[in-house]
Amino acid sequence: MDKSRRTLLKIGTGFALSSAVTTWAGATPAAIKVPADSGLAGDALRLVTYQHAAAKAPRLGVVTAQGMVIDVGATARELGMTLAFDPASMVSLIAAGPDAVAQARRCAASGRAHASLDGVRLLAPIPVPARNVYAVGWNYLEHFGESLTAKQAALPKHPVFFTKGTHTINGPFDPIPFNPSVSVKIDWEGELAVIIGKRGHNIAEADAMQYVFGYAVINDTTARDMQVDHGGQWFKGKSLDGHGPIGPWIIPASDIDYTNLQLTTRVNGVVKQQINTSQMYFKVPRIIEELSLGLTLEPGDIIATGTPSGIGAARNPPEFLKPGDVMETEIDRIGMIRNVIRQVTT
């Protein structure tokens, strides 16, 4: 394996602890915003996977409206509560179902904060997914219209699916590696991420929302030159290590209406994409029905639901991310992720 590939493999995931990409949240506290009144009936539950400086093992927490972090495992011990899940594993909590969410809410209601956001490092909520990230292409009509490939086709009757490799997953405030020997046309794609809550197969559209655990923000960061070089297929250009930042937390589906959320992508403070999720062409229930047809979904599976217009490749002239750029992806009532593009050694 050559040196450049070894470097990317080493730093590619949000769970990686290499000093080449690791940035403690305390280094950029202004970037961590907690939306006010984010829930349908008051404050939403914000579930995070995080590391505390004093103990690097990942743990689950709840972030309060005041920007404090409640350690779920420690709080449960203080309350004498036996958890139905592993307090170090988000997938364990998800798979344990409503009882686990209720226990997390009880921990949050205790008010027993253990740290502030600027004293911890937020990891990707699911730092190491068991399976590839599922993704939907061309799910907003304006983006369909700006795609050179899609311009030659009729409006789709079915969602277009592809996947991103598991090592694309990156933390909500971690740097995105930029290796010019790999790609120099790195593009942004802000999206709503759906987190699956339970196993399902051949799920009917009418039942699909029962399988949604919650939502997060994701950026389907893409190497456009690789898309061209590999015959126009998407997997390789979508799957570079570290090119899938997600977070900053998961909000349960019961706490938020996904059909009316404002999605914004900014580069160096300039708005590049902005749309409301009400304009999705294929809504979440239809996406789940089609994806699960003959394909089993599992707890903790991630679905990126598509990006709006405004990608860099479709601009005149085209624009791409470069080292030092700051990419912010925000969905109101969920939160914002903020990632610096960082050149890595070739």
pLDDT at 19 exceeding the cut of 70: no
Output the CA–CA distances (angstroms, integers) from residue 116 to 65, 80, 210, in the order listed: 11, 24, 33
Confidence of residue 138 (pLDDT cuts 50, 70, 90): confident
| pLDDT (tens digit per residue) in 53-108 | 766 799 999 999 999 999 999 999 999 999 999 999 999 999 999 999 999 999 99
Q: Domains in the chain: how many in total?
A: 2
Residue 117 domain boundaries: 25-122
As a whole-number percent, the residues of the chain with pLDDT over 70 amount to: 85
Q: What is the average per-residue pLDDT within 119-135?
A: 97
Q: Which of 23, 1, 21 is nearest to 241 (CA)?
A: 21
Q: Which helix (H) or strand (E) holds 288?
A: helix 284-291
Output the CA–CA distances (angstroms, integers) from residue 185 to 181, 227, 287, 322, in the order listed: 11, 10, 29, 8
**Longest Cα separation, the chain:** 62
CATH number of 308's domain: 3.90.850.10
Q: Which tokens hold the place of 191?
A: 């999206």
Q: Is residue 250 part of a domain?
A: yes
Q: State residue 147's pLDDT score.
A: 57
92 with 128: CB under 8 angstroms?
no
CA dist 236 and 7 (Å) reads: 17
Q: Is residue 177 part of a domain?
A: yes
Query: Which residue(s) pair with 121 in the sheet?
Result: 51
Tell me which of 78, 105, 122 is where a domain ends.
Answer: 122
* Of the listed ranges 16-25, 90-99, 249-258, 282-291, the one predicted with least confidence: 16-25
Confidence of residue 227 (pLDDT cuts 50, 70, 90): confident
Phi-psi region of 101 (alpha: psi -120 to 50; beta: other; left: phi over 0): alpha
Q: Which of 115, 124, 131 is nearest to 55 (CA)?
A: 115
Q: Which of 314, 335, 318, 336 is nearest to 327 (CA)?
A: 336
Tell me which of 122, 147, 166 is where a domain ends.
Answer: 122
pTM: 0.89
250 with 214: CB under 8 angstroms?
yes
CATH number of 61's domain: 2.30.30.230
Q: What is the mean pLDDT of the chain?
A: 88
**Could you give the dihedral angle defined by the CA atoms of residues 290, 293, 297 and 303, in that order, rounded to the nearest 10 degrees?**
-20
Q: State residue 14's pLDDT score.
A: 40
